[in-house]
A and B are shown apart, each in its own frame.
Chain A
Amino acid sequence: MLGEGILKGMAETAKNFFGSYFSAERLTTVEYPEQRVAPFEAARVFPFLVFDQENRDGGGPEWEAGMRCVACQICEKECPPKCIYIEKSKDKKLDYLGKAQYYPARFDIDISVCMSCQICVEVCPFEAIKMDTEYELSTDDRFGSLLLDREQLAKSNEYYHQIHPTEASAVDTRLAAEKVKADARAKAAAQAATAKAVAIAGEGA
């Protein structure tokens, strides 16, 4: 019969239309500004810099003192659209292992260029740069407010735990293990030094 296919299609449409009143399966949209879908844990938007809360080196604001970044500039080099700008500091300060390291005197990310590929996160050996999930970032200023500086990029480790709990816990475990190892190494070195000193003293006597 001519028109049978059309009628069958119409029946399908009607099923979907009336179904949307009864089953959540058929109702697929949310009313955006009032309702929001929670982002997935793996979701990524733009990078941010992690700082640890405990103030290690004294002086300066908390975000600056605890920043994990050591200005090694690997992310700057690997960034595909080249949107990271880093200037290394002249002096050094202690990092979480108690080792003297440089820190970024300037760390800018141009988020109008950034393409959220997370390669900077992947290549960072210091767990210093991570991806944020904040997506409502529109501004009316085209240039200035899209170039984020150190202070705007710095977010606490607690915040990192909030947005990516599993990943952040894994990072914390790894860093803690590294610290234990570094401490052990430092202790062993200290012991060796004292033993050597004792030995030298013994030789002298």
Chain B
Amino acid sequence: MSDTQSHSAILADRLEGWNRPTAIVPQNEGELLEVAMGPHHPSTHGVFRMDVALDGERVIRLRPVFGYLHRNHEKIAEGISYLASMPYTDRLDYICPITNNWAYALAVEKLTGQAVPERAEYLRVILGELTRYQNHASSIGFLIQEMGASGTPLMYAYREREKILDLFEELTGARMMVNYMRFGGCRVDASQGWLERTRKVVAGLAGFADEFDRLLSTNEILMARTQGVGVLRPELAVNAGVTGPMLRASSVNYDIRKVDGYGIYSRFNFRVPLGDHGDVYDRYMIRVLEMRESIKILEQALKEIQPGPVMDPKAKIRGLRPKAGEAYGRIEAPKGELGFYLISDGGPNPYRYRVRPPSLINLTVLEDMCLGVNVADVVLIFGSVDIVLGEVDR
């Protein structure tokens, strides 16, 4: 690097393109302040560190450091039976365990060619969409909390989330660590009373989305802080493999519920909201709109669900030994594409067990969104990615 290169030239070089060299502390850049935000920074959603290099207020480079919550999930799963991995998947993304269960069950069902009864599919959709609703509500709450609105929107979101978690507990026995799905259906059937209570809760969800809208969507401070901040270009989003609300906020129409049509999603009528700018505000807005779409799906599913078995009686649960082969099951989890890749060698435990976590892969573009912004916005951009460290580190 030549001595004559100016500060702004270095910065422009750094801001351009995806395949830039790994950020090195450049010389001739004046005073550079390196700050380790985390692992116990109040804004981070767990134990996560961002090493940022600051030129005044501006971010020159950012390095995400994770692994503090590594629990060896994949290797443990390769040593235990297929069934025994199911409760461990609850603990990946602990905000939405139902969808984790679903993705894993789907992968094993693909591996063994197991069919799922109709009522179980409906129950999966109902629980999955409830999970999406509460995940988006609480992730918006966290985002606003990181802007400095200490608690109010988050507590409103949690009030709503608690109603949904009560439904989960009544059905599965646990608020979060549900361990509900099985290969070939669901563990227990939902009673008529449970469905009635779910209908009642779902009827109230739209009112809460309206309340959230009135509370936040036109708030001038929120718009000033989030519009035009942390822009993610669609090309970069696609190249980096970003999925979920983050990708759709960058106006890429890709929703696995539509593309893959897993389960019975093709039967429901819903739209995929898309953003225009790919900034933090769009990501916020996409989540609010997806909450409304989830309500639509829930209403249709609760209307159409029929009595019947929830478990294939021939399905083998304990001592499952799938034929040698491989399968990849993926679903549209609230945070993006959650996939489980399994290789079986015919034994009682998988030969290879791999999780494709949306949080980790959405996090890889963090530096690109943060370069050149003020350090106060880094916290906001990080919040808008919506990650859970249990899933990032596994």
Contacts and interface: CB of A to CB of B under 8 A. Distances in A.
A108 B158 CA distance: 38
A123 B140 CA distance: 40
B276 interface: no
Contact of A118 (B169, B173, B318): B173
Nearest to B217: A5
A89 interface: no
A11 B107 CA distance: 48
A36 to B, nearest CB: 15
A96 B214 CA distance: 63
A117 interface: yes
A186 interface: no
Interface stretch (A37-45, A49-57, A197-205): A37-45
Contacts of B214: 8-9, 11-12
A163 B174 CA distance: 15
B313 to A, nearest CB: 15
Interface string B88-109: 1010000000000000000000
Nearest to B191: A166
B211 A12 contact: yes
A24 interface: no
A6 interface: yes
B177 interface: yes
B256 to A, nearest CB: 27
A9 B215 contact: yes
B219 A117 contact: no
Nearest to A117: B87
Interface stretch (B43-51, B56-64, B76-84, B297-305): B76-84
Contacts, number: 77
- Chain B, interface size category, equals 35 or more
B83 A43 contact: no
Contacts of B85: 80
A28 B162 contact: yes
A117 B219 CA distance: 43
A41 B187 CA distance: 16
Contacts of B166: 40
Nearest to B318: A123
A117 B215 contact: no
A112 interface: no
B172 interface: yes
A119 B84 contact: yes
B9 interface: no
Interface in A40-80: 40-44, 74, 78-80
A40 B222 CA distance: 40
B215 A12 contact: yes
Given A12-B211, A78-B81, A78-B84, A28 B219 contact: no
Interface of B: 80-81, 83-88, 90, 152, 156, 159, 162, 166, 169-174, 177, 179, 187-188, 211, 214-223, 317-318
Interface of A: 2-6, 8-9, 11-13, 16, 28, 40-44, 74, 78-80, 115-119, 122-123, 131
